[in-house]
A and B are shown apart, each in its own frame.
Chain A
Amino acid sequence: MNEIRISGFGGQGIIKCGYIVGKTASLFDGKFATLTQSFGPEARGSACSAQVLVDDEPIRYPYVTTPDTVVAMSQEAYDRFGADITQDGTLLIDEDLVKSLEPPKVGKFYSIPATRIAEQLGLRLVANIVMFGFFTAMTDIITPGAAREALPSSVPARFVELNMKAFEQGYEYGLAVLGKLPDGGEEKPEETKSGANAGAGSKREAGSKKAKGKSSSGKNTGKKKATQGE
């Protein structure tokens, strides 16, 4: 069983992201998936998290107890949920929103400027879908084919194209990090795009690029700290 926690703040589409993960697994990958959520009384801005259990067997106990996969899309979410991950778990962050972090003790740690990519696509609100694409690439929990099937019926009709694009960018970013991009994939104009942005962003971009090169081993613990130092 996979125990996944997707976290951030209200308004980021965190629950939606968890919803699509669960929907992909249960309706299109033939698995069982249970989504639960926790939120504060505020509709916007407070920490929120979606928890998804994915298994080949029917799920009984409905909540995540020891997450093996944590997605953090805000500093507060990382501070609250980043630490309680299993030893061989996977941590995914939005590198622009989680700035200060302890050296992760987890097996795998990857970052993506999901919100920035979404902004470049023209709508910050699709950061959750960029992250969903990234999540699809970085874990073996759901298949990309199933994710592409699940997505169109999960977002408003007029935003399907944009969301599909957001998914593909997140997914390809992930493949690049893993060094799995098909030939020509490195043309992905990520660098150019963010190069046009402010300097701080490009610094981070450099860090990510480094990660791209090495993290296919999946053991880049400590690397992020170096990035932080830059």
Chain B
Amino acid sequence: MKADPRGVLTGAHYLDGDHAAAEGGLAAGCRFLAGYPITPSTEVAERFAARIPKVGGGVFIQMEDELASMSAILGGAWAGKKSMTVTSGPGFSLMMENLGLGIMMEVPTVIINVQRGGPSTGLPTLPGQADMMQARWGSHGDYEIIAICPSSPQEAFDYMITAFNFSEKYRVPTLVMMDECVGHMTEKVVIPPADEIELTPRKEYTGPPEEYLPYLPDKDMIPWMTKAGDGTRFHTTGLTHDEKGYPVMNADCQETLVRRLIDKIRKNADEIAIVEEEEVDGADVVLISYGISSRVAIPAIERARREGLKVGSLRLVTVWPFPETRVRELAKNVKALVIPEMNYGQIYYEIERCAAGNARTILVPHGGGWVHDVNDVYAGIKEGLK
């Protein structure tokens, strides 16, 4: 299915990551954004608010808070509009409640978190990458989620489309974990013609309305979806539910449902995993990075290579589900994995787990507020070669 040209601003633009993400959403067919202002993410909402009356067929609303924003986009998606919201750390915390509802109801939506320094109000105008574990585990209960980390405005555009496609395909709220640096960085963004943008259509139920079972899984574990007003008169709930969507309060139903919610992502992890590899074959040390840290790592890698050191790079575009298979393989072939991230160890521990003792894992932490000093990343590489 091709993109609707009305939402696609084809051409070359000079945009910051926030604006590019808004354009990515529009190009992906998003026609409903409910949000609440918060630095450094607000520009996404502003751009959408300015564009949607001109694009047509959609609406923007500034809600009273992030609880309402996240809740509203679930309603929006159920009513048949591709829906998104955007926030930063403090708002992301508030969204966790209804993120869980979105996971339980299996609602395709996209949530952008333009990460800033935390905890709490932290550093509103400066970058962080410390919400990565919150993205994974922030809502209560057990679940799997998809999270993607763009590292440039162009990628903010491109991966918003990917995020919407994943959310439709797997019927799961999909997180776009940007950071202030990417959000406020302005670069050239090329928006392709609409007929070059491939969109994943919603998995629509087309059978007799009275036979519809909203949570009867297909072979791929994903149930068919209808929207409110289609005549199927379905029920959905945040409670543990059966195939009819009716609450069932017992361990068997919990096992069937939650197992499927997890498996539909976990068993497709290799397909969802987007990674970029560079010179990993024969490398002694491989840097594993994501988001803005990937770009900061490159000068350090180049410096090491100029000195004749064998350094590779594995960039995680998909961070959740964690690209476990690849990291496990890699750990068997290198001396060390070096992980620069703007926190004191989040994805690092995932990597350490997957390295399983086969390679050393070296964290190059940064508390946020700025990106890494290239020298620190370089020192991490040298440490890995010891």
A and B touch in the complex (CB under 8 A): yes
Binding site for B on A (CB under 8 A): 19, 22-23, 26-27, 32-39, 41, 59-63
Q: Which residue of A lies closest to B187 (CB)?
A: A34
**Interface pair B186/A41, CB less than 8 Å apart:** no
Give bound CA distance, A32 to B16, whole Å.
14
**Interface pair A41/B124, CB less than 8 Å apart:** yes
**Interface pair B186/A61, CB less than 8 Å apart:** no
**Interface pair A39/B187, CB less than 8 Å apart:** no
Give bound CA distance, A32 to B370, whole Å.
22
Interface set, chain B 182-212, CB cutoff 8 A to A:
184-188
**Interface pair A62/B295, CB less than 8 Å apart:** yes
Pick the contact of B186 from A35, A38, A39 — CB < 8 Å?
A35
Known: A26-B14, A27-B14, A62-B371. A37 touches B184 (CB 8 A): yes
Pick the contact of B371 from A33, A38, A63 — CB < 8 Å?
A63
A-B contact pairs, 19 of them (CB 8 A): A19-B14, A22-B14, A22-B186, A23-B14, A26-B14, A26-B187, A27-B13, A33-B14, A33-B187, A33-B188, A34-B185, A35-B186, A36-B186, A59-B187, A60-B298, A61-B298, A62-B185, A62-B295, A63-B370
State the Cβ distance, A78 to closest chain B Cβ, in Å: 23
State the Cβ distance, B151 to closest chain A Cβ, in Å: 9
CB of B175 closer than 8 Å to a CB of A: no
**Interface pair B188/A36, CB less than 8 Å apart:** no
Give bound CA distance, A36 to B127, whole Å.
12
Interface set, chain B 1-17, CB cutoff 8 A to A:
12-14, 16
Task: Name B's interface SS.
Answer: mixed
Given the complex, which residues of B lie within 8 Å of A32, measured CB to CB? 187-188
Known: A26-B14, A39-B125, A62-B181. A19 touches B298 (CB 8 A): no
Given the complex, which residues of A lie within 8 Å of B296, measured CB to CB? 60-62
State the Cβ distance, B296 to closest chain A Cβ, in Å: 6
**Interface pair A60/B299, CB less than 8 Å apart:** yes
Given the complex, which residues of B lie within 8 Å of A23, measured CB to CB? 14
CB of B63 closer than 8 Å to a CB of A: no
CB of B292 closer than 8 Å to a CB of A: yes
Give bound CA distance, A193 to B14, whole Å.
36
State the Cβ distance, B286 to closest chain A Cβ, in Å: 17
CB of B38 closer than 8 Å to a CB of A: no
Interface set, chain B 279-315, CB cutoff 8 A to A:
292, 295-296, 298-299
Give bound CA distance, A23 to B188, whole Å.
8
Chain B contact patch, size range = 20 to 34
Give bound CA distance, A39 to B126, whole Å.
10
**Interface pair A26/B184, CB less than 8 Å apart:** no
Task: Name A's interface SS.
Answer: mixed
Give bound CA distance, A22 to B186, whole Å.
8
Pick the contact of A41 from B125, B181, B295 — CB < 8 Å?
B125
**Interface pair B184/A61, CB less than 8 Å apart:** no
Give bound CA distance, A62 to B186, whole Å.
10
Give bound CA distance, A61 to B124, whole Å.
21
Given the complex, which residues of A lie within 8 Å of B370, measured CB to CB? 63
Which among A38, A39, A61 has the highest number of chain B CB atoms within 10 Å?
A61
**Interface pair B12/A27, CB less than 8 Å apart:** yes
CB of B101 closer than 8 Å to a CB of A: no
State the Cβ distance, B127 to closest chain A Cβ, in Å: 10
Given the complex, which residues of A lie within 8 Å of B181, measured CB to CB? 36, 62
Give bound CA distance, A39 to B39, whole Å.
12
Given the complex, which residues of A lie within 8 Å of B14, measured CB to CB? 19, 22-23, 26-27, 33, 35
Given the complex, which residues of A lie within 8 Å of B295, measured CB to CB? 60-62
Given the complex, which residues of B lie within 8 Å of A34, measured CB to CB? 185-187
Given the complex, which residues of A lie within 8 Å of B299, measured CB to CB? 60-61
State the Cβ distance, B234 to closest chain A Cβ, in Å: 47
Give bound CA distance, A41 to B299, whole Å.
31
CB of B374 closer than 8 Å to a CB of A: yes
Q: Which residue of B lies closest to A60 (CB)?
A: B298
Given the complex, which residues of A lie within 8 Å of B124, measured CB to CB? 41
Q: Which residue of A lies closest to B16 (CB)?
A: A35
Give bound CA distance, A26 to B189, whole Å.
10
**Interface pair B188/A27, CB less than 8 Å apart:** yes
Give bound CA distance, A39 to B295, whole Å.
22
Give bound CA distance, A35 to B187, whole Å.
7
**Given A23-B14, A33-B187; 12 other pairs, CB 8 A cutoff:** A19-B14, A19-B186, A27-B12, A32-B187, A33-B188, A34-B187, A35-B14, A35-B187, A36-B186, A39-B125, A62-B292, A63-B370
Give bound CA distance, A187 to B100, whole Å.
70
Pick the contact of A26 from B188, B292, B374 — CB < 8 Å?
B188
Give bound CA distance, A34 to B374, whole Å.
18
Q: Which residue of A lies closest to B124 (CB)?
A: A41
Give bound CA distance, A27 to B184, whole Å.
18
Which among B185, B292, B298 has the highest number of chain A CB atoms within 10 Å?
B185
State the Cβ distance, B211 to closest chain A Cβ, in Å: 54
Give bound CA distance, A63 to B184, whole Å.
12
How does the 8 Å CB contact mask read for B158-183 relative to A, with 1 for contact and 0 for none?
Answer: 00000000000000000000000100
Give bound CA distance, A204 to B221, whole Å.
76
Give bound CA distance, A86 to B370, whole Å.
22
